[in-house]
């Protein structure tokens, strides 16, 4: 069919069609798609998603437990439904979650720099020179968030300011502080300029009415956690460890803990308020996956702490049950071809 605004989520401006979606994801997959089509683009996004596994592993050396305990915790949390199923989808949500997780990992490394290893950990102490020599590189990566969706601009600003504040506390260098904040300013100017050119206003194509307040957003918010199809805790029960361990995590890593909470809320709450409930014709759990990725360090922390207890086998029984559950889910959505997309007859796509 010939692309028109009605069938392409786009705006007609001076004879050209401009997508109402952000330009970051198309730019990210442009080269893989040009070389290998949809298959290579999806393989590239799987590679991007897998970075979350590495980030959680790097963060875990600040937690209790041996390498084996932490490796099992990372594997159980990160191979759950929601992350595996979302990895192949050409949507920005997983990449947004990975970038936010990267920022949280950097914040954690700042907070624990030069600290002694955690109790029971067999990992050497982290030194500042390992991760924090060039923090403006980290903030440059986090500054890409608004290119994936403009709603993440405030989240990016909070995360970058937190990293800059932690660095200022260590170095007291105005030059470093400016260098760390500059990438977000540059991206903000670029996004504003593109929106003004394509849509006639710096805020982009979005108008009032995309977000709603009332009983339904509250229902969707609850559903993003517990719905039998979209709920992150139903898809991946290992994330429940984050709820249990969050107070202990915040007590031990207060700055990182607050960053996790604020980032998670900033991702989940606007999606719950969006009039396109649960993402319209999107994959199951799309509107919760970025927020779920932000919770993974806390879930890994809780499971690793639990597995460090050598006095009982019950933690390993729990891990076995979680693995069995995900195995059953995997069979259902692969071999039994269970649909992982919304039914438009029940949940219409009203975007935008």
Q: Which residues, 6+ apart, have CB-to-CB distance to 2 below 8 Å?
A: none
When pLDDT is averaged across residues 81-86 and rounded to a whole number, the result is: 86
| Cα gap 302→258, rounded to integer Å | 16
Structure tokens at 191: 């996004």
When pLDDT is averaged across residues 327-332 and rounded to a whole number, the result is: 85
Q: Report pLDDT for 129.
A: 42
Structure tokens at 143: 């500054």
pLDDT tier at 344, thresholds 50, 70, 90: low
Q: What is the pTM of this model?
A: 0.89
Q: Report pLDDT for 49.
A: 95
When pLDDT is averaged across residues 232-257 and rounded to a whole number, the result is: 94
Out of 70-74, 162-166, 195-199, 260-264, least confident range: 195-199
Q: Are 332 and 91 in contact (CB under 8 A)?
A: no
When pLDDT is averaged across residues 333-348 and rounded to a whole number, the result is: 68
User: For the residues of 96-138, what is the DSSP string, one character each?
Assistant: HHHHHHHHHHHHHHHHHTTPPPPTT--SPPPPHHHH-S-HHHH
Q: What pLDDT, in 10s, does the model give residues 264-281? A: 999 999 988 887 777 777
Q: Report pLDDT for 277.
A: 78
When pLDDT is averaged across residues 184-198 and rounded to a whole number, the result is: 90
| Cα gap 269→271, rounded to integer Å | 5
């Amino acid at each position: 069919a010939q692309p028109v605004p009605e069938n392409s989520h786009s705006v007609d401006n001076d004879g050209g069609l401009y997508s109402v979606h952000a330009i970051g994801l198309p730019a990210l997959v442009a080269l893989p798609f040009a070389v290998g089509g949809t298959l290579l683009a999806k393989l590239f996004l799987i590679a991007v998603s897998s970075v979350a596994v590495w980030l959680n592993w790097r963060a875990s050396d600040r937690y209790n437990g041996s390498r084996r305990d932490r490796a099992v915790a990372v594997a159980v949390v990160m191979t759950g439904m929601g992350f595996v199923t979302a990895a192949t989808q050409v949507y920005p949500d997983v990449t947004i979650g990975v970038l936010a997780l990267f920022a949280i990992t950097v914040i954690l490394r700042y907070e624990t720099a030069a600290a002694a290893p955690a109790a029971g950990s067999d990992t050497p102490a982290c030194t500042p020179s390992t991760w924090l020599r060039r923090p403006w590189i980290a903030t440059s990566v986090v500054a890409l968030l608004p290119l994936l969706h403009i709603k993440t601009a405030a989240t990016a600003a909070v995360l970058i300011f937190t990293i800059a504040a932690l660095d200022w506390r260590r170095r007291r260098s105005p030059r470093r502080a400016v260098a760390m904040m500059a990438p977000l300013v540059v991206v903000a100017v670029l996004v504003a300029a593109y929106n003004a050119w394509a849509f006639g206003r710096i805020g982009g194509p979005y108008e009032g009415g995309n977000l709603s307040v009332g009983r339904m957003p509250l229902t969707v918010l609850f559903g993003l956690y517990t719905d039998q199809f979209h709920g992150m805790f139903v898809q991946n029960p290992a994330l429940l460890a984050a709820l249990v361990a969050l107070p202990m995590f915040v007590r031990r890593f207060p700055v990182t803990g607050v960053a996790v909470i604020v980032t998670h809320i900033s991702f989940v709450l606007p999606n719950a308020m969006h009039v396109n409930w649960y993402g319209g014709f999107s994959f199951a759990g799309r509107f919760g996956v970025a927020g779920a990725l932000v919770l993974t360090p806390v879930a890994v922390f809780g499971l690793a702490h639990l597995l460090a207890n050598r006095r009982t086998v019950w933690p390993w029984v729990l891990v076995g049950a979680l693995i069995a559950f995900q195995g059953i889910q995997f069979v259902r959505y692969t071999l039994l071809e269970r649909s992982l997309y919304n039914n438009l007859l029940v949940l219409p796509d009203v975007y935008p």
